Amino acid sequence: MDETSKNWRERYSRQILFREIGEEGQEKLLAAKAVLIGCGALGSAQADTLVRAGIGRLRIIDRDFVEASNLQRQTLFDEEDARQSLPKAVAAKRKLLAINPDCRIEEVVGDATPKTIEEWVEGSDVILDGTDNFETRFLINDVAVKRNIPWVYGGAVASYGVTMTIRPGKTACLACVLAERPALGLVETCDTLGVLAVAAQTIAAIQASEAMKLLLGREDALHGQLISIDMWTNQRAAMRVPDRNPDCLPCGKRQFVYLAGEAQPHVTMCGRDSVQIHEHNRRLDLGDLRAKLGRLGSVRSNDFLLRCSIPPYELTVFPDGRAIIKGTKDPAVARSLYAKYLGG
């Protein structure tokens, strides 16, 4: 037994002892590739679990940066990450490599959009949902069905969480279960109801477990249900996932309206009074922008983003043309501020 083989067998020895995994299963995990979209409370817990379990490659996609309000539930981040306003994907990669340097981790600081998501999920064995909105989830559903990649949906708000595993062509997809996304303003978020860390961690644990079963080829062990759990009232429910709907647009008719960009994304950010603006095919020079905006308000920046406070608003700007406008929930106001300070 060579030294490398000995080391991984020692690292994962307790997992290998679990007979449903064993050495053969561990080797499958070491060769697997997962894509995680969103690295907040759900995403950071899933990433932590899978990297410790020995996932071979993990691509982390997140558009946001670490703030103090994240630290109550987003377990990969600390005070220093918030102080530096590090992008979550960057901070997560640093923490995860300290946990398991043998895992290949790729960070993507960006927004999952119809123009980016197909390239980002290319070659993946499973997609994990760490997002905070249904627009992105339906986009994930479209690309997963189109590319025949299994994915694990999850959500958490207040003390409640829900999850479902989707295997394109074999089970109902998200659009089969939710014929259309909930109307804007009718879905409570952590911005309106708050969220308990234990709710997100419980759902993330189920998601990571399902992902491991998929990567191991153990579809017989999948729960096959839409599971909901309330960690405060101790209520649990598990509904059998219905059969595939032949009239479903993505998996029945192969019509991918979210992937085609025909559905306008909802850009209000979870947990903040903010709106995200994303201008495609535009690069911003943060150095030049710092000099320009420094005449208007206080500016802080790092290698990944720039933050400018122009009361009552705060602008967080990324090199890819994105900006998060804090201080409004009105997209029209946000677009106006973007044009005013960053140009149309």
Please write the tens of the pLDDT for every residue from 99-136. 999 999 999 998 898 989 999 999 999 999 999 888 88
The domain spanning residue 130 has which CATH number?
Answer: 3.40.50.720
* Confidence check: pLDDT of 265 > 70: no
- In which domain, by residue range, is 297 found? 274-342
Alpha-carbon dihedral of residues 97, 100, 103, 107, nearest 10 degrees?
-20
Please write the tens of the pLDDT for every residue from 139-169. 999 999 999 999 999 999 999 999 999 999 9
Residue 196 falls inside a structural domain: yes
* Confidence check: pLDDT of 181 > 60: no
More confident residue, 297 or 70: 70
* Confidence check: pLDDT of 318 > 60: yes
Mean pLDDT of 206-217: 98
Contact at 8 Å (CB) between 141 and 174? yes
For the record, the structure tokens of 248 come out as: 């479903």
Q: Are 286 and 224 members of one domain?
A: no
Task: Give the confidence band of 184 by pLDDT, cuts at 50, 70, 90.
Answer: very low
Residue 142 falls inside a structural domain: yes
Residue 17 falls inside a structural domain: no
Contact at 8 Å (CB) between 246 and 252? yes
Contact at 8 Å (CB) between 73 and 187? no
Residue 23 falls inside a structural domain: no
Q: Are 242 and 290 members of one domain?
A: no
pTM, to two decimals: 0.83
Please write the tens of the pLDDT for every residue from 185-206. 335 667 657 899 999 999 999 9
**What is the model's pLDDT at position 269?**
57
**Percent of the chain residues topping a pLDDT of 90:** 65
**What is the model's pLDDT at position 4?**
62
Given its phi and psi angles, is residue 53 left (phi above 0), alpha (psi -120 to 50 degrees) or beta? alpha
More confident residue, 166 or 273: 166
Q: Rounded CA gap, 266 and 257, in Å?
A: 15
Q: Are 71 and 148 members of one domain?
A: yes
Q: Are 236 and 282 members of one domain?
A: no
